Structure formats: structure tokens, C-alpha cells
Amino acid sequence: MKIREFKTELWLPLPPEKLFPFFADAANLQALTPPWLNFSIVTTRPIAMREGTLIDYKLRVRGVPLRWRTRINVWQPPERFVDEQIRGPYRHWIHEHTFKPQAGGTLCGDLLQYAVPFDFLMHYWLVRPDMEKIFRFRSSALRRLFAPEPVNPA
């Protein structure tokens, strides 16, 4: 099984202790997920986030309905948390979220370690392009929420 990595960073103009609560509410994942994935949380809310929390989702990837379950393996507010896919389309999926103070704001990091079935076919043609598109959407959504462009009075 070939483990791949995907890493992305985004600076936002709030300190980690102000930004982390948004990520601590699982319901906000909806706002960070592209609409074309038809994403929804199945787990009854509110969800108490902590180590061991299980969260179930439904989504569609390229029209294929999927169920996904993650477990929170590490919960260290406001610095980081790690979720792992317990059930879903990946053979391996661990997603580390980090929140580091930087220049009066927060450097938000995402490090994914993942493996897919039929890697030699799926990764470059389907999985990696989809992942890049999803994280571009996520970055754009976070910028809109936490770093909106100032209004230019005309």
C-alpha cells in the first residue's frame, strides 16, 4: 500500500484561540465542503469533540454515494487535532489539522496521509485532482469567513 501525502497551509488574521472554535464545531465542516460533494453529517448533533469522538457522514464523489466515518485520534485545542477515516473510500486516511500563531494571526495547516485502491490508476487521474479542488474550495471558504476583502467605498 502506497501512502501519499497532501499538505496545504493558509494564513488567517485571527489568533488560534479565536479560530479553533469554528473547527471544534463539526457542523461547520459543511461550510468548508464543496456543494458538488452533497456532503451531510449523519451523526446526531451537537457532537462533543474530543479524542475518540466518531462522526458519520454521507457524500457523493463523482456521483457515487459514500458513507464515511472518522474518529478524532488527537484533540489538543487550540493547537491541533487529528482525524482518521475508520470507514470510507480510502485504504488509509489520517488528516492532521494544525493552528500555529504567526504574524498576528494563525497559520492553518492540513497534512493528509492517504492511500487509495488501485493507486497507479486512481491517484493521478482522480483522487489528487479532486483533493486539490476540494482544498482550493476550503481555502476560499475560510478566506471568505475569516479574511474578507475590505469594502472599497466608491
3-state secondary structure of 95: strand
Given a cut of 60, whether residue 82 has pLDDT beyond it is: yes
**Which of the four pLDDT bands, split at 50, 70 and 90, describes residue 20?**
very high
Given a cut of 70, whether residue 27 has pLDDT beyond it is: yes
Name the residue with cell 465542503. 33
Radius of gyration of the chain (CA): 16
Tell me the C-alpha distance between 55 and 95, whole Å: 14
Mean pLDDT of 34-46: 94
Q: What is the pTM of this model?
A: 0.91
Percentage of the chain with pLDDT > 70? 96
Tell me the C-alpha distance between 152 and 137, whole Å: 24
pLDDT at residue number 152: 56
Residue 137 dihedral angles phi and psi, to the nearest 5°: -60, -45
Q: Is the CB of residue 144 less than 8 Å from the CB of residue 136?
A: no
Higher pLDDT, 149 or 10: 10
Given a cut of 60, whether residue 151 has pLDDT beyond it is: no
Model confidence pLDDT, tens digit, residues 86-144: 999 999 999 999 999 999 999 999 999 999 988 888 888 888 999 999 999 999 999 99
3-state secondary structure of 35: helix
pLDDT at residue number 105: 95
Tell me the C-alpha distance between 139 and 32, whole Å: 8
Tell me the C-alpha distance between 154 and 150, whole Å: 12
